[in-house]
Structure 1
Amino acid sequence: MEFEDILYEVRNGAAWITINRPEKLNSFRGQTCDELIKALNKAGYDRNVGVVVLAGAGDRAFCTGGDQSAHNGNYDGRGTIGLPMEELHTAIRDVPKPVIARVQGYAIGGGNVLCTICDLTICSEKAQFGQAGPKMGSVDPGYGTAFLARVVGEKKAREIWYLCRRYSGAEAVTMGLANICVPHDQLDAEVQKWCDEICEKSPTAIAIAKRSFNVDTAHQSGIAGLGMYALKLFYDTEESREGVNALKEKRKPEFRKYAK
């Protein structure tokens, strides 16, 4: 299976799936999402794989969400908004193996959502977490909001989305968004340590545990599906387009003049 936007490698029983677009801060376009879904399914049902690591190439970013250069009302791929986000998020939750987010830099916007959904998150001291949707005329109407509230608590989730602040790796651990924060040069060794410990355990027991953990939030998939249709309609408004236009023009957006 060949990929263009990602790298796929199995190391000591762990499948490393790396978004390989460092020049774009590992933002994802339609093709990236499709390749991630294929790679997750490949790893998830490979008997030689005990755990999946989701990573970003380079030192600057884990993932910064949707590629704004591929966004003009809709993104450039398939799916309700031009990105098969519901399918990608479901793939992370449904593969019967733990998925670890390895965060070495920016985990912003849709990248922050990926960290939220992954079973575990291990980050370096250079990591920065946060949301950007309302700054860009966008939002994640599914797991990125509803499940985030389950992970970090209702009040903190609202703060993250309403204010769009940045949070350090240590702060992410404190709020429950990450499991551990380590020195940057120890990140890969720490990720491998966790992978090795998981691979020693019963794969069937872990698969059952993962399904069990996900049962009480399974309804959020339906919320996401409906929400993406609302988001598509929002993307067709001048208010939403103002976010992308302001970014391209390197200015502060003026959303309120378009709000109805």
Structure 2
Amino acid sequence: MEYQDILYTKEDGIATIMINRPAQYNAFRAQTCEEIIHALKDADFDRQIGVVVLTGAGDKAFCTGGDQGTQDGGYGGRGVIGLPVEEMQSAIRDIAKPVIARVNGFAIGGGNVLVTVCDLAIASEKAQLGQAGPRVGSVDPGFGTALLARVVGEKKAREIWYLCRRYTAQEALAMGLVNAVVPHDQLDAEVKKWCDEIVEKSPTAIALAKKSFNVDTEMIRGMGGLAMHALKLYYETAESAEGGNAFREKRKPEFRKYVK
């Protein structure tokens, strides 16, 4: 596959997947998801790779979720909602190697979900994390909600989704959403340090540990698959469309007028 939306490199047992859409704050479209899935599978099959780093290009954003600038009742790709986001999230969990989120800036919406799904997360002190779904007429009714509750606790997860606030890297660290926070100019060195420590460990033991961790939350995948069908129906409503329209028109959405 020729990559258009990501940069994919391998060095010293480390595979790095970088979403390369800085002008869109590294928001993903269907093509982006397909390329990330492909790269993750390649890294999984490569026995020389011991760890994967997922990040975004530039200094502003890790990832800001689905590209609302291109959405018009759907994302135009495959999958229930035209965006293979379920498969992308599952690919992160299914790869038998740890995936580290290198959070270099905004991790909002679907970007926050990627941080949640990754095995580990290391953030720049300038990073901001949070949800935006209910603000733009969307939601991630699977790993983005249920797994988040396992990571940060039920009350905090509900706060994150219901209020759509932004949290600093230090606040994310305190709630357990990231593992470490470092000055921005030390981010690459810290990520490399963690990667090097993982690469020198037994790959089979690491794979068994990861699969074992996943067992406890595997039912979320099935729940998410079911919920995506409901989400598709929601995306076809005027209420959901109001969120995307308001975002593109840079105004406050008026969701209540669509509630019968």
Q: Which residues of 2 match residues 132-211 of structure 1 at below 5 A? A: 132-211=132-211
Runs of 4+ in structure 1 off by over 2 angstroms are none
1:259 is displaced (CA, Å) by: 1.6
Q: Hey, what does 1:14 align to over in structure 2?
A: 14
Q: 1:32: Cα distance to partner?
A: 0.3
Taking only aligned residues, the RMSD between alpha carbons, in angstroms, comes to 0.6
Count of aligned residue pairs for this structure pair: 260
* Structure 2 counterpart of 1:52: 52
Instruction: Please name the residue that 1:117 is paired with.
Output: 117
Q: TM-score, normalised by structure 1?
A: 0.99
SS at match of 2:18: strand
**1:198: how far off?**
0.1
Letter in 1 for 2:65: G
In structure 2, the partner of 1:245 is 245
Q: Is the 8 A contact 1:45 1:96 kept in 2?
A: no
The Cα shift of 1:70 comes to 1.9
* Contact map agreement 1:44 1:52 (CA 8 A) in 2: no
| Letter aligned with residue 156 of structure 2 | K
Q: Which amino acid aligns with 2:98?
A: P
Unpaired segments of 5 or more residues in structure 1?
Answer: none
Shift of 1:187: 0.1
What amino acid does structure 1 have at the position aligned with 2:34? D
In 2, are the aligned partners of 1:70 and 1:76 still within 8 Å (CA)?
A: no
Q: Name the aligned partner's letter for residue 180 of structure 1.
A: A
Alignment of 1:58-97 (within 5 A): 58-97=58-97
Q: Quote the residue 1:225 is aligned against.
A: 225
Q: Residue by residue, what CA displacement relative to the aligned partner does 1:213-236 show, whole Å, maximum 9, x if unpaired?
A: 000100100001011000000000
Q: CA deviation at 1:85?
A: 1.2
> Distance between the aligned counterparts of 1:8 and 1:235, measured in 2?
32
- Give the equivalent residue in structure 2 for 1:39: 39
* Partner Cα distance (1:230, 1:86) in 2: 14
- State how far apart, in whole Å, the 2-side matches of 1:52 and 1:250 are: 36
Per the normalisation by structure 2, the TM-score is 0.99
Deviations 1:154-175 (A, max 9, x none): 0000000000000011111100
Q: CA shift at 1:76, angstroms?
A: 1.9
Please report how far the alpha carbon of residue 249 of structure 1 lies from its aligned counterpart in structure 2 after TM superposition.
1.5
Residue 24 (structure 1) aligned with residue 35 (structure 2): no
Once residues 30 and 70 of structure 1 are traced to their aligned partners in structure 2, the CA distance between those partners, rounded to angstroms, is 10
- CA deviation vs aligned residue, 1:108-146 (integer Å, no higher than 9, x gap): 000000000000000000100000000000000100000
8 Å contact from structure 1 (residues 55, 101) kept in 2: yes
Q: CA deviation at 1:258?
A: 0.4
Identity between Structure 1 and Structure 2 (%) = 70
What displacement does 1:2 show? 2.3
The worse-fitting range, judged by mean Cα deviation, of 133-142 and 245-254 is 245-254
Q: Secondary structure at the match of 2:233?
A: helix
For the residues of structure 2 that align with 1:9 and 1:2, how far apart are their CA atoms?
13
| CA-to-aligned-CA distance 1:12-59 (integer Å, 9 cap, x gap) | 110000000001100000000000000000011210100000010000
Q: Alpha-carbon deviations, 1:152-210, whole Å to 9, x = none?
A: 00000000000000001111110000000000000000000000000010000000000
Q: Does the 8 A contact of 1:30 with 1:82 survive in 2? A: yes
**Whole-angstrom distance in 2 between the partners of 1:70 and 1:76:** 9
